[in-house]
C-alpha cells in the first residue's frame, strides 16, 4: 500500500513509496544527470523546486560531504525511481521529503510536454492523496518568490583567500561552492557578498572583477544585483554565471523569459559562434536571456539556440548561462575562469566609485 502521494497541476496523483517523510510543494522540474546527485541536491538554484531524477537509481556511490555545493539540501523535495538508503537517510536528516517507486519516465515526459508545473507531496504513514492536493493548492509561481535571494545568500560578507593575485567581488545570489574555489585555485582572493550588497561596499573593495553568481528564481526579482551591475558597468570588468548572466543582460538593456521546462543536466551542447567548437556543459536554470541588450551573443545552445554566452569588449563583460565550474562534470569549459581573470588583468577599468 502506498504511503506517499505526488499531486501534479495537470490533475494526476501518483502513488509512491515514502523514503523521507513530510509534506511540501514546489515547481516540479527534472534533471537528466546520471551522476552528481549530491551536487544537484545541494545546488541553491533548486530552491523552492521539487527535483525529479530521470536516471533510475540515485545513490549508487553513497553520500560524501566534500561533494556538496552548499551547506544544505535546497529542493523542497526529491523524486526518483529508486533512492538508495544512503540518500534516503541523508534527505530525512535534512528534513526534505523524498519519494520513489513511481514512474519517473511518465513525470519527465509530462514536464517536457506541458512545462514545469506546480506539485504537491505528502509522504509518511499518515499521507493521503488529499494532503498532496492540499499542498499543491498552496504552490506559487517561481516569479512570485520575490525575495528568494534572501533564502540562499550569505548574510555577511566573507573572503575566500587565494594567492592575492586578483580581487574578485562575488555577489552571492545562491552560488555553488565550486565557483569561488575555481577562482581561488587560479590565485584570486574572492570576496563573497550578500545578494543585496550596496554599491558603497563594492567600491570600498575596489575589485578587479565584479562577478554575479548563479541562483534560483526569476532574475527580474534580483533588483539590487542588477542595479549594482548598472552602477559599475564600464568601470569594473563584469562576469556572471547562469542567473548572473541573466542579471547582467537585464542591466545592459536586455530581457529574460521563463522557459518551458528549462535546462537541467550535464549533457547540454553549447556552440561557440566564432570558432564553431561545441562543448558539453552542466546546466540548471528555468529562465533564459531573450534579448541580450547591448551585449553580444557569443555562444548558443545547440538544441534550442538560447543564449549561452554574452560578451562586451568595450565594457569588459563575459558571462555564461551554463556552469563552467563543472561540478558535476564535464570539464570542457573550465577555461572560462582563466578568461575572467585574464580580463581582470587586461581589461581597461578605472578605480571603482559609487555615486
pLDDT tens, 279-311?
A: 999 999 999 999 999 999 999 999 999 999 999
Q: How far apart are CA 269 and CA 5, in angstroms?
A: 35
Closest CA to 31 of 9, 11, 51: 51
- For the chain, the structural domain boundaries read 4-140, 148-346
Instruction: Please tell me the predicted confidence (pLDDT) of residue 347.
Output: 61
Binding site membership for L-glutamine: which residues? 45, 215, 217, 243, 246, 284, 286-287
Active site residue 242: yes
What mean pLDDT is reported for the chain? 94
Portion of the chain with pLDDT greater than 70, in percent: 95
Fold adopted by 4-140: Glucose Oxidase; domain 1 (3.50.30)
Binding site membership: which residues? 45, 215, 217, 243, 246, 284, 286-287
Q: Does pLDDT of 330 surpass 80?
A: no
Handedness of CA 279, 284, 285, 286 (dihedral sign): positive
Q: Does pLDDT of 105 surpass 80?
A: yes
Of 48, 308, 311, 325, catalytic: 325
Active site residue 191: no
pLDDT tens for 173-225 read 999 999 999 999 999 999 999 999 999 999 999 999 999 999 999 999 999 99
Active site residue 323: yes
243: exposed, middle or buried (Cβ count in 10 Å: 0-12, 13-18, 19+): buried
Instruction: Please tell me the predicted confidence (pLDDT) of residue 243.
Output: 98
Q: 147: which 3 cell numbers?
A: 525575495
Of 119, 173, 242, 315, catalytic: 242
Of 101, 263, 285, 323, catalytic: 323
- Secondary-structure class of domain 148-346 per CATH: alpha beta
Instruction: Please tell me the predicted confidence (pLDDT) of residue 11.
Output: 96
Amino acid at each position: 500500500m502506498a504511503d506517499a502521494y505526488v499531486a501534479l497541476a495537470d490533475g494526476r496523483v501518483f502513488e509512491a513509496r515514502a523514503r523521507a517523510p513530510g509534506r511540501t510543494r514546489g515547481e516540479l522540474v527534472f534533471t537528466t544527470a546520471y551522476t552528481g546527485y549530491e551536487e544537484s541536491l545541494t545546488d541553491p538554484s533548486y530552491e523552492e523546486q521539487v527535483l525529479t531524477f530521470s536516471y533510475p537509481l540515485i545513490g549508487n556511490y553513497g553520500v560524501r560531504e566534500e561533494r556538496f555545493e552548499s551547506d544544505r539540501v535546497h529542493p523542497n523535495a526529491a523524486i526518483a525511481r529508486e533512492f538508495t538508503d544512503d540518500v534516503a537517510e541523508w534527505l530525512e536528516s535534512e528534513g526534505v521529503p523524498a519519494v520513489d517507486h513511481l514512474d519517473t519516465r511518465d513525470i519527465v515526459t509530462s514536464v517536457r510536454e506541458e512545462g514545469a508545473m506546480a506539485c504537491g507531496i505528502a509522504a509518511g504513514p499518515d499521507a493521503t492523496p488529499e494532503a498532496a492536493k492540499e499542498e499543491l493548492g498552496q504552490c506559487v509561481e517561481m516569479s512570485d518568490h520575490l525575495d528568494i535571494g534572501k533564502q540562499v545568500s550569505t548574510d555577511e560578507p566573507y573572503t575566500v583567500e587565494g594567492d592575492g593575485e586578483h580581487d574578485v567581488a562575488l555577489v552571492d545570489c545562491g552560488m555553488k561552492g565550486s565557483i569561488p574555489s575555481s577562482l581561488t585555485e587560479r590565485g584570486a582572493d574572492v570576496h563573497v557578498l550578500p545578494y543585496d550588497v550596496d554599491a558603497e561596499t563594492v567600491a570600498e573593495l575596489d575589485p578587479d572583477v565584479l562577478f554575479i553568481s548563479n541562483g534560483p528564481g526569476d532574475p527580474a526579482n534580483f533588483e539590487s544585483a542588477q542595479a549594482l551591475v548598472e552602477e559599475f558597468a564600464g568601470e569594473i570588468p563584469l562576469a556572471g554565471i547562469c542567473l548572473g548572466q541573466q542579471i547582467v543582460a537585464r542591466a545592459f538593456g536586455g530581457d529574460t523569459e521563463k522557459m518551458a521546462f528549462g535546462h537541467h543536466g550535464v549533457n547540454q551542447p553549447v556552440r561557440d559562434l566564432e570558432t564553431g567548437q561545441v562543448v558539453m556543459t552542466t546546466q540548471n536554470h528555468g529562465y533564459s536571456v531573450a534579448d541580450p541588450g547591448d551585449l553580444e551573443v557569443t555562444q548558443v545552445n545547440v538544441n534550442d539556440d538560447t543564449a549561452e554566452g554574452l560578451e562586451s569588449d568595450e565594457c569588459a563583460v563575459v558571462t555564461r548561462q551554463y556552469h563552467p565550474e563543472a561540478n558535476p562534470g564535464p570539464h570542457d569549459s573550465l577555461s572560462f575562469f582563466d578568461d575572467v581573470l585574464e580580463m581582470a588583468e587586461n581589461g581597461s577599468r578605472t578605480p571603482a566609485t559609487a555615486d
